[in-house]
Amino acid sequence: MQADEFGEVMARAFHDDPVMAWLLPDGQGLALMFTALSRHIHALTDVAHRDGDMVGGAVWDPPGFEGDLEAAIPVFVEAMGDAVDRGATLDEVMAAHRPKEPHWYLAQIGVAPELGGKGVGGELMRQGL
């Protein structure tokens, strides 16, 4: 899996997402942020291809997995600048609502906008399940 290509696809998939707009209002840094998430924070990355091009992806964590935040922080600072504090707040809020029991966690799933509604997301879910 090419982490940079994954980051670009996910940035396109989440470009109009309200949470991402709050996190990075100008959209700059999204690709780098998603690349860092897949490289350092999450355990497994599934991708979907069409005609040789990556068109979607999903990142999963198995029960008990903890990513390498220390390795990711410099990349997050580069990608997010002053918004890195908002990213930390978002992570804390989301973590507070995760089940306490061991579970698999689907951190992100995204599809290139032009392929939305064409089964790519379902394919990614089936790969992970």
Domain total for the chain? Answer: 1
pLDDT band, residue 13 (cuts 50/70/90): very high
For residue range 15-68, list pLDDT tens digits in order: 999 999 998 888 888 999 899 888 888 888 899 999 999 999 999 999 999 888
Q: Is residue 73 scored above 90 in pLDDT?
A: no
Residues 6+ apart with CB under 8 A from 116: none
Distance CA 11, CA 56 (A): 10
Tokens at 113, concatenated: 């906008």
User: What pLDDT sits at residue 28?
Assistant: 85
CATH number (domain holding residue 28):
3.40.630.30
CA atoms within 13 A on the CB side of 106: 13
Which range marks the domain in which residue 35 is found?
A: 3-128
